[in-house]
Amino acid sequence: MENTQGHGRTVRNGSIAMIALGVLLFVLSLVYLIPHDMGVTSALRSRGVHTPAVVTECAEVSGPRDNPAGNADCRVRFTTSGGTTVETRLAYVTDTVKARDTVTVVYDPQHTDVAALASSIGFWNSLGRNVLDVVALVASVVMTLLGLAVHLGYRRLTRVRRRPNRRSEPATS
């Protein structure tokens, strides 16, 4: 019986963790990932200004074993059409540039701290990000529903086991 209670606690905690992670990923997708990716790309496509920039630094997003593509979070320095020098982080990670490279960036003149490589806002890159955003959203829903199903199923199963068998009860008169 002691082992069954430990197993029940493990199932319950695992299902609750799955529900919590699913809800967290769902909220993250709806509140940050989708609006950020679509908003940046939309702003840069509609009013973006192309300009040369110098990559000032790049930091890998994870270690080489976990990052075979070599994706890096990079900062660039460029001069706006108004003559202001801006140094900002690129909106999207990249695997195509390294520090001291000269690249073409697209920046938002209304928010000069928003910039991306011109290639990062192309159709295929945007489509790829949007597909990943939708996959994260679907995965969050599946995780939440699966966690909920396991949690409710286990509760129902343990209730059935706890019910006394009415046939074996002595008849009272």
Please give the pLDDT value at position 27. 75
Q: Residue 127 half-sphere exposure, CB side, CA atoms within 13 Å?
A: 3
Mean pLDDT of 16-27: 80
Please give the pLDDT value at position 170. 57
Q: Could you read off the pLDDT of 72-111 as tens digits, one per residue?
A: 889 999 999 899 999 999 988 787 888 899 999 999 998 8
Helices 2-28 and 123-162: crossing angle in degrees, nearest 10, is: 150
Please give the pLDDT value at position 1. 45
Angle at 115 between CA 99 and CA 70, to 5 degrees: 40
- Name the least confident of 23-27, 78-82, 138-142: 23-27
Which region holds residue 85: left if phi is over 0, alpha if psi is between -120 and 50, else beta? beta
- 3 versus 110: the higher-pLDDT residue is 110
- Residues whose CB is less than 8 angstroms from the CB of residue 87 and which lie 6 or more positions away in sequence, other chains included: 56, 75, 76, 77
Please give the pLDDT value at position 64. 54
Indicate if the pLDDT at residue 146 is higher than 80. yes
Indicate if the pLDDT at residue 56 is higher than 90. yes
- 59 versus 160: the higher-pLDDT residue is 59
Tokens encoding 10:
């493990």
**What global pTM score does this model have?**
0.55
Tokens encoding 29:
């997708």
Please give the pLDDT value at position 168. 54
- Residues whose CB is less than 8 angstroms from the CB of residue 105 and which lie 6 or more positions away in sequence, other chains included: 50, 51, 52, 53, 76, 78, 90, 115, 116, 117, 118
Q: Name the band, by pLDDT with cuts 50, 70 and 90, for residue 51.
A: very high
Q: At which residue do the structure tokens 């989708």 appear? A: 34
